[in-house]
Structures are given as structure tokens and as C-alpha cells.
């Protein structure tokens, strides 16, 4: 099952899967790859470019992964003989794999910044923490809503709250990530203790509680993903 989960993850990055979601993905790509670097002067020095890509690649990877991977099984898996426990295991393992893999990519991409001495270990941990937060928000419980028995679009009570929690958290995380990159390019010394603390404040005060709140919807999302009706059909 694990090997199938891994294969399905990489199979998901097919162009056909981006159809209909291209506008969102394209906006992020254009913004991060063209506008922001030019405005922030990321390409003026090699070090700046490395810092930029160390932050941008994991973000783009997570956004694109969120576009093509939903919290559900492939259609055929709903028809093969699987017990409820096996279905749950498949869904949870898939979500965990997405989160762990995206975080791993973020950690690897940010490693050169640390190894080149552009930031200290605490800043590196904060960068990885930001990537983990984004991965949780985009790749973990990204589900499609279906219709309930009363014929209305699903509006579970948590939907609005969850959307706000997710939106605010994503905003804070992306802003703090790129602010950090911008500061590095403005030769702000991230080797000092003050700068990591500057980022630790929003991280701890805003991101962490929002992320914890967001993760309380995990069980609901898994339960819904076990049902074909709420995972696929409108």
C-alpha cells in the first residue's frame, strides 16, 4: 500500500490534473518566479538567487501538490475490496506522506542557505517550520466537498471557520517566508538572535494556534474522504 501511495503521489503531477486549476497555479508561478524576484532584487547576486529559490521552490511545490492531490483515494480504490480500516490507513498515510515529503523538499532546499552561512540554525528551523505549516494547510486535508442527502452543497459547520483559519495561516506563512528571504537579500544579518525571534513571534502567536485549530478538522476530513460520494461526485 505504501508503494502505491508513493506512486500515486508522483503520478498526480500530470499536466492533465492541472486542468481547471491552472489559473491558481499560474498566478502563483508568475508571481513567485517573475514579479517578486525582480521587485525584491533577488537576482542581483547568486546568494540572493539561492535564498529565493530555497524559499520559492518548496512553496511552489506545495501549491502545485495541493492543486492535484486531494484528501481522497483514487476512484478505483473505492471499488476494490478494502475494509474501512484499510481505507482509513490509505487516506491517512497518503496525507502524511504528502506533508512529510513536502517538508523534506523544503528542508533540502533551505539547507544550502544554512551551509553557506547565510542564516543560523534557528532561522533554518523556522524556514522548515514555515514549509511544514504550508504543507499541513495545502497538502494534508485538501478535500473536495460533495452534496449531502438533503441535496445542498456540503456546508459542514466548520467550513467557513476552517477556510478563514487556513487562509490567514497561509497568508502569514508565505509573507513571513518571503519577508525572511527579502531581509536576507537586503543584507540583514540573520545570524543574529534578534531576527529569528522576530519571525518566531508571528510563527508562534499566529501560525501555531491556527494550525492546531486547523488540524482539529482532521478526523472529519478523513471520514469524508472514506466516502466516495463526498469525495468525488457533485
Partner 1 sequence: MLLELKDVSKRLGKFHIKNISMDLPDGYILGLIGPNGSGKTSLIHLILGLYKPNSGDILIDGKSYADEEIAIRNMIGTVLLDEMFDDGVSLLSNGIRYGRYYENFSQDTFEAYLERFNLDKKRKYNKLSKGEKLKFQFAFSLSYNPKLLILDEPTGNFDPEFRKEFFQVLKEFIADGTRSVIVSTHLTEDLDKMADYILYIENGSTIFSGDIEKLRDSYRLVTGENYKINLIDKERIIHKEMGNYGTRALVTHRPRYTYDKEVTVAIPTLEEVMYFVTKREKGGRSK
Q: Which residues bind partner 1 (CB under 8 A)?
A: 4, 7-8, 11, 14, 16, 74-76, 78-84, 147, 149-151, 227-229, 233-234
For the bound state, the minimum distance from the C-beta of residue 161 to partner 1, rounded and expressed in Å, comes to: 25
For the bound state, the minimum distance from the C-beta of residue 82 to partner 1, rounded and expressed in Å, comes to: 7
- The residues facing 147 across adjacent strands are 153
| Placement of cell 525584491 in the chain | 40
For the bound state, the minimum distance from the C-beta of residue 208 to partner 1, rounded and expressed in Å, comes to: 38
For the bound state, the minimum distance from the C-beta of residue 229 to partner 1, rounded and expressed in Å, comes to: 5
Closest to partner 1 by CB, 219 vs 234, is 234
Other beta carbons within 10 Å of 176: 23
Closest to partner 1 by CB, 46 vs 76, is 76
**SS3 letters for 8-71?**
HHHHCCCHHHHCCCHHHHHHHHHHHHHHHHHHHCCCCCHHHHHHHHHHHHHHHHHHHHHHHCCC
Closest to partner 1 by CB, 150 vs 194, is 150
* Distance, CA of 172 to CA of 38 (rounded, Å): 22
Closest to partner 1 by CB, 117 vs 151, is 151
For the bound state, the minimum distance from the C-beta of residue 72 to partner 1, rounded and expressed in Å, comes to: 12
How far CA 22 is from CA of 16, 28, 146, 147, 193, in Å, comes to: 10, 10, 22, 25, 41
Give the total residue count for the chain: 234
Closest to partner 1 by CB, 8 vs 120, is 8
Amino acid at each position: 500500500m505504501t508503494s502505491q501511495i508513493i506512486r500515486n503521489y508522483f503520478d498526480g503531477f500530470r499536466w492533465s490534473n492541472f486542468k481547471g486549476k491552472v489559473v491558481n497555479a499560474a498566478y502563483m508561478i508568475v508571481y513567485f518566479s517573475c514579479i517578486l524576484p525582480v521587485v525584491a532584487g533577488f537576482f542581483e547576486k547568486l546568494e540572493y538567487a539561492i535564498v529565493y529559490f530555497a524559499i520559492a521552490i518548496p512553496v511552489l511545490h506545495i501549491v502545485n501538490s495541493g492543486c492535484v492531490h486531494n484528501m481522497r483515494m483514487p476512484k478505483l480504490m473505492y471499488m476494490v475490496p478494502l475494509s474501512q480500516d484499510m481505507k482509513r490507513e490509505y487516506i491517512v498515510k497518503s496525507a502524511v506522506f504528502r506533508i512529510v515529503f513536502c517538508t523534506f523538499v523544503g528542508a533540502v532546499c533551505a539547507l544550502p542557505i544554512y551551509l553557506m552561512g547565510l542564516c543560523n540554525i534557528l532561522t533554518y528551523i523556522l524556514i522548515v517550520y514555515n514549509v511544514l505549516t504550508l504543507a499541513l494547510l495545502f497538502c494534508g486535508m485538501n478535500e473536495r466537498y460533495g452534496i449531502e442527502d438533503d441535496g445542498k452543497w456540503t456546508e459542514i459547520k466548520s467550513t467557513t471557520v476552517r477556510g478563514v483559519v487556513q487562509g490567514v495561516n497561509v497568508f502569514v506563512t508565505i509573507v513571513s517566508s518571503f519577508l525572511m528571504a527579502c531581509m536576507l537579500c537586503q543584507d540583514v544579518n540573520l545570524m543574529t538572535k534578534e531576527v529569528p525571534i522576530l519571525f518566531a513571534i508571528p510563527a508562534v502567536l499566529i501560525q501555531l494556534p491556527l494550525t492546531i485549530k486547523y488540524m482539529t478538522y482532521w478526523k472529519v476530513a478523513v471520514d469524508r474522504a472514506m466516502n466516495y460520494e463526498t469525495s468525488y461526485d457533485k
